[in-house]
Chains A and B, each alone.
Chain A
Amino acid sequence: MTTNGWLQISFYLVALLALAKPLGGYMARVYEGQPIWLDRLLGSVERAIYRLCGIREQNEMGWKEYGMATLLFSAAGFLFLYALQRLQGYLPLNPAGFGAVPPELAFNTATSFVTNTNWQAYGGETTMSYLTQMLGLTVQNFVSAATGMAVLVALIRGLARKSAETIGNFWVDLVRTTLYILLPLSVIFSLVLVSQGMVQTFSDYQKVKLLQPVSYDQPVSDASGQPVLDEKGQPKTEKVTVTEQVLALGPAASQVAIKQLGTNGGGFFNVNSAHPFENPTPFSNFLELLAILLIPAALCYTFGKMVGDTRQGWAILAAMTIVLVVFVWGAYWAESAGNPLIAKMGVDQTLSNVQPGGNMEGKEVRFGLANSVLWASATTAASNGSVNSMHDSYTPLGGLVPLFLMQFGEVIFGGVGSGLYGMLVFAIIAVFVAGLMVGRTPEYLGKKIEAYEMKMASLLILIMPIIVLGLTAVASVTATGRASIFNPGPHGFSEILYAYSSMGNNNGSAFAGFGANTPFYNLTGGVAMLVARFWWIIPTLALAGSLARKKAVPAGLGTLPTHTPLFIVLLIGTVVLVGALTFIPALALGPIVEQIVMIQGVHP
């Protein structure tokens, strides 16, 4: 760890927290239907959309209707995206002539993008046509994020309203989120990113000259594609000399902006934001990092504003930030310590002003360690999943950080909307636990927390571990499941656990050596993503409906205030305890064993 590294991390946190209030206040105005200056520009577009869709703006919905609209919209998105992938061979804008995406992969990908996960079992440039990328994947980057934010706003209204039957209009929340929040921010971010060198073009791949031509051995195959063997029975190879480099280009900036802002994370290029065209400079890296947590952080302020007490929002944001900082420290420490197996060979891993040092496998020089571990922590604290370094190559404890952060249920910032509604569920559990201790009926924001609310909250926190650990167990004991492992030993178990933790929490990041594109993982992972998304959304909306109907109880002497440091500690304790009790045994089998193996210097 270096002083400069911590300076960069601190600067990032200060910028993030400073922007929470202005953006959060703006979003509150958007959701409360107050006048905003973008109305003049986009108001007519908004009204035209309502007219064409037959939406009555003033018609508010109860929670069941709101939930049905959410499900119908997600189902429509899924069907369209699935069909687009299966039919892309017959459709235009397919210069590489890709055929239909296989059914299990199309199912997995459609699920992945509709649930705001962006798990990518495919290679973009080798599977998806331009049309599929644009009309399917990019669009879901916007609308799946908007869906999560709409559900959050419905829950906030449930907390804010008293004796009310309705929690808002899903269509209005969806359209206003897209038009007034996601689109304008994306336009600004994408143009600033281009200024740093991110590509944005529809032209063909660019050929450039190599300064020093490179040769490699290529296996020879016959007409039927079978490898040709030489006299000794070894595959025959021929020397190929390459004198040109083909630069993959494309409209990257527009997709990267929304990929980060909407906590999507699906990369334009294979290596995501480690690619110099997808993250050219330290400043582009700072901006992309900022975009990962910007909306989740600002929504905390929106929440406080809408329930009429901004201190409530700051308390939640403080709890999230504290957990994040602790985990960033852990990852930074582990990666700075480097890899002892490599140090033994006379390699210098010291961190200094002339070299990044530490564990540099899978990392880029321009980012160094501080920016890599900050990204790894932020992208998994939020349910973003984009990477600027390869998590599979992290030291075992360094890799434990992103893994564990996902296993908290994506509530430390979390996905846009989904993270905060998850965290509010944990807040309800926290006040319930506190209420049990003093023997009083728990309240949150003046609403009594009763049996129904606790049933919904318990449903929510139980299902994720069952899915993640259950599927990990099945995959670890079957040959089909183990066939996808890339790194041997305990690291291989970590790869499986990481994959299901990622999909089962709608994150999308991966230990990328893992062979995810098999029917087994496509199908089980697809189910995990669906459960993770909609098992949360429906009980959350039920909770919103039930809370909205309640009368407000005035705070009394026995009421636990939910804006104090005491509550922040209680909330952190609840999240960390639930996560730790559930996942530490599994983590012990993967990263923790591997760390010991690495320090001992014995190979598995």
Chain B
Amino acid sequence: MTTHLRAAFVSLGLLTILTGVLYPLAVTGVAQLLLPRQANGSLIVKHGGPSDQPAGSALIGQPFDDPKYFWGRPSATGPFPYNAAASSGSNLGPTNDALTTAVKDRIAALKAADPDNTAPVPVDLVTASGSGLDPHISPAAADYQVRRVARARGLNEEAIRRLVEQQTEGRQFGFLGEPRVNVLLLNLALDAAR
């Protein structure tokens, strides 16, 4: 019994040092050395001054509701959308009234900004993402917004459509995941094109 008690506590202590201290430190060291951009959040550094604040992360979405920008997925984080310090989904069930009301409001907002658009709304544009930080929308959701953005910016639709195409990412290795458009990168490209 005493031999087992000693073994229990000492082995726990030793394995704690190995897996709780040495392992994360070693992985951090190698990651920071070989993959510093990825390990630190894939930040978008603008070509202004080097002291400038990063313009976001290529992996984390930002909130948009101005008609001249493409809008991303609805976000359920609190107290404001796309709060990257408190990720959250809506967790609303499929038959919850709160879900149908929220979807109705989002459709209304899209229609208000673009009244004569009668196309069916792509589902990812009116449903909250799992993380509340989804950086992407589908190519269909981007296409739905092209006319509105073009009008708000006084540009022709073709120019906007070309930008969307440039920012559209295919499936990884040709078959993994879904085709998608990074909303923040697209909007940064829009501003740069002006």
Contacts and interface: CB of A to CB of B under 8 A. Distances in A.
Contact of B43 (A138, A191, A208, A218): A208
B85 A281 contact: no
B193 interface: no
A535 to B, nearest CB: 21
Given A199-B39, A247-B41, A354-B139, A4 B175 contact: yes
**What interface size band does chain B fall in?**
35 or more
B131 to A, nearest CB: 4
Contacts of A254: 23-24, 27-28
Contacts of B131: 271, 274-276, 364
A251 B25 CA distance: 9
A357 interface: yes
A229 interface: no
B178 A349 contact: no
Contact of B176 (A8, A209, A249): A8
A355 B176 CA distance: 14
Given A54-B6, A190-B27, A365-B137, A197 B42 contact: yes
A80 B11 CA distance: 13
B109 interface: no
Given A248-B84, A346-B121, A366-B136, A207 B63 contact: no
Contacts of B137: 365
B95 A491 contact: yes
B129 A356 contact: no
Contacts of A175: 11, 15
B128 A361 contact: yes
A142 B21 CA distance: 13
B167 interface: no
Contacts of B9: 76
A252 to B, nearest CB: 10
A179 B23 CA distance: 11
Nearest to B38: A197
A486 B91 CA distance: 8
A281 B143 CA distance: 23
Contact of A274 (B7, B24, B130, B191): B130
A253 interface: yes
Contacts of A205: 85
B145 interface: no
A603 B95 contact: yes
Nearest to B181: A365
Nearest to B24: A254
Nearest to B187: A211
B59 interface: yes
Interface string B172-194: 11011111100010011001000
B19 interface: yes
B162 interface: no
A517 interface: no
A134 interface: yes
A343 to B, nearest CB: 9
A354 B138 contact: yes
A346 B120 contact: yes
Contacts of A183: 18-19, 23
Contacts of A49: 11, 14-15
Given A194-B38, A196-B38, A254-B27, A282 B107 contact: no
B93 interface: yes
Given A362-B89, A366-B178, A388-B130, A245 B84 contact: yes
Interface string B20-58: 110110111011101100111111100000000111111
A134 B73 CA distance: 33
B51 to A, nearest CB: 13
A341 interface: yes
Interface stretch (A67-75, A294-302, A303-311, A522-530): A67-75
Nearest to B19: A142
B154 interface: no
A53 B20 contact: no
B150 interface: no
Interface in B139-175: 139-141, 143, 171-173, 175
A316 B81 CA distance: 47
Contacts of B39: 194, 199-201, 253
Contacts of A281: 172, 177
Contact of B23 (A76, A186, A214, A218): A186
Contact of B139 (A80, A200, A355): A355
A489 interface: yes
A513 interface: yes
A390 interface: yes
A260 to B, nearest CB: 14
A206 to B, nearest CB: 6
Nearest to A244: B53
A276 to B, nearest CB: 4
B40 A365 contact: no
A345 B102 CA distance: 12
6 contacts: A52-B14, A200-B31, A282-B178, A342-B99, A354-B140, A364-B134
Q: Which 3 A-B pairs have the closest CB atoms?
A: A282-B177, A513-B91, A274-B130
Given A348-B120, A361-B92, A364-B136, 8 more contacts: A72-B7, A138-B20, A143-B12, A211-B69, A211-B188, A270-B86, A277-B60, A488-B96
Interface of A: 4, 7-8, 11, 45, 49, 52-55, 65, 68-69, 72-73, 75-77, 80, 125, 134-136, 138-139, 141-143, 171, 174-175, 178-179, 182-183, 186-187, 190-191, 194-203, 205-212, 214, 216, 218, 240, 242, 244-249, 251, 253-255, 258, 269-271, 274-277, 280-283, 285-286, 338-339, 341-342, 345-349, 352-368, 371, 387-390, 392-396, 486-489, 491, 511-513, 594, 597-598, 603-604
